[in-house]
Amino acid sequence: MRGYVVFLRRPYAGRLLGATLLGRLPNGMGMLAVVLHVRADGGGYPLAGTLAAILGLATAAGQPVLGRAMDRFGQPRVLIPAALASAAGFGLLAAVGAGPLPAAVLAVVAAGFATPPLEAGLRALWQDVLDGPEQVDAAYALDAASQELLFTFGPLLVVAAAVASTETALLLTGALGIAGTLIVALSGPSRRWTGEPRASDWAGPLRSPGLRVLLLSLACAGIALGVYAVAVVAYAERQDSDVASGLLLACMAGGALAGGIVYGARRWAGAPHRRLPWLLAALAAGYVPLVLAPGLAAMSVLAFASGVFLAPVLACSFTLVDRLAPSGTVTEAFAWVVAAVGAGSSAGSFAAGLGQDLAGVPGAFAGAGVGGVLALVFCLAGGRTLRPHPAPAVAAKASV
């Protein structure tokens, strides 16, 4: 645990991590707030689910775009306008509700696409704020573990705010995003940070073969996450339990939190590109048994186990992104990680619904194991590309 103590004693480290978590709470609140508001306004479940899915896809699409803008123009100039635009989107949805439909779609697209890339921005800052790779690795692990709190406390905040009104829940979602973003963007490290020179090409970080392999693998891990979020609801309905879905989500989040803290508390031998396949294999092994869908007590244990290697996989991946991203593209590269996991999660939600129709609860959970195994397969198939190579010098005429 010494690494965490040293990390948190660094100037700005605790402030940046805490403020980023505050500003990212809308990621754990937005979809539920949208569904509750549309339902309260008389919209059906298909409409509510569709608007929530549009919000998720718009968020995934916007992160790389805003990440590239941050690499080019710096953090405050992008983060603050984005937070205001996203909050305006939630405010518009609070005003129009389920209709007129074009306005509702515009609102969720704005709220999602403009979501400030705080997650990517924070990871770009760690190299400047911290001393040495040991502290950076501890920061990545704590970052990956603590984000599970977003999806534990975020929905609770939405439910509490919705007691007043669903409009309040949406406005609170946007306001928390602005608050956290302002704390980050007005900090010294964020104001001073500038992107490195970069080659002027459209592909940006995607010109790195290793990064493409890593993103594909993480998208498959995201499939497993999306499957799980839907499958636990089907499981709760089969168990006729109002608390089962929340309990199983909390158990998986608890496993991820514990795994991330343990992973970051020690220094690991060997290069991260050699470690990642083993972590993905353990992650897949945790997802596969979920298809058994036993009684709630045993299922809670399986749920906890399925989350244990999630944060270590993400933390190891963040270290690889740092090494694989071409010069001047680090924020965009981290934003692509967010987009890949988000897109995979959306696909997983669809797969879980299809599996539930075809084979009941075991069919819903089957997609989690498939996603975990595919993540490992793609990592092994492209393993050679994950070895970092020295970056070529950037031409003098490269844009900044």
**Would you list the domain boundaries of the chain?**
1-136+148-195, 203-389
Average pLDDT of the residues in 343-361:
86
Average pLDDT of the residues in 116-137:
87
Q: Which pLDDT belongs to residue 1?
A: 61
Within a 10 A sphere around the Cβ of 237, how many other Cβ atoms? 14
Q: Is 70 exceeded by the pLDDT of residue 397?
A: no
Q: Is 70 exceeded by the pLDDT of residue 399?
A: no
Q: Is 50 exceeded by the pLDDT of residue 162?
A: yes
Q: Which pLDDT belongs to residue 159?
A: 80
- Distance (Å) of CA 145 to CA 21, 183, 208, 265: 11, 21, 27, 12
Of residues 114 and 3, more confidence is placed in 114
Q: What is the pTM of this model?
A: 0.84
Q: Which pLDDT belongs to residue 200?
A: 60
Q: Which pLDDT belongs to residue 395?
A: 41
pLDDT tens by residue, 196-206: 776 666 788 99
User: CATH assignment of 203-389, given 1.10.150.120, 3.30.70.270, 3.40.50.720, 1.20.1250.20?
Assistant: 1.20.1250.20
- Report the percentage of the chain scoring pLDDT > 70: 95
The dihedrals phi and psi of 223, each to the nearest 5 degrees, come to -55, -45
DSSP string, 260-317: HHHHHTSPPPS-HHHHHHHHHHHHHHHHGGGGG---HHHHHHHHHHHHTTHHHHHHHH
Average pLDDT of the residues in 232-237:
84
- Give whichever of 6-20, 278-292, 340-354 has the largest mean pLDDT: 278-292
pLDDT tens by residue, 8-45: 788 898 899 999 999 999 988 888 788 888 888 988 86
Identical fold for domains 1-136+148-195 and 203-389, yes or no, is: yes
Check whether domain 1-136+148-195 has CATH 1.10.260.40, yes or no: no
Residue 111, C-beta contacts closer than 8 angstroms, at least 6 positions apart: 30, 55, 58, 86, 87, 88, 89, 90, 93, 174
Q: Is 60 exceeded by the pLDDT of residue 178?
A: yes
pLDDT tens by residue, 298-315: 999 999 999 999 999 999
Q: Which pLDDT belongs to residue 396?
A: 38
CA distance 386 to 58: 29
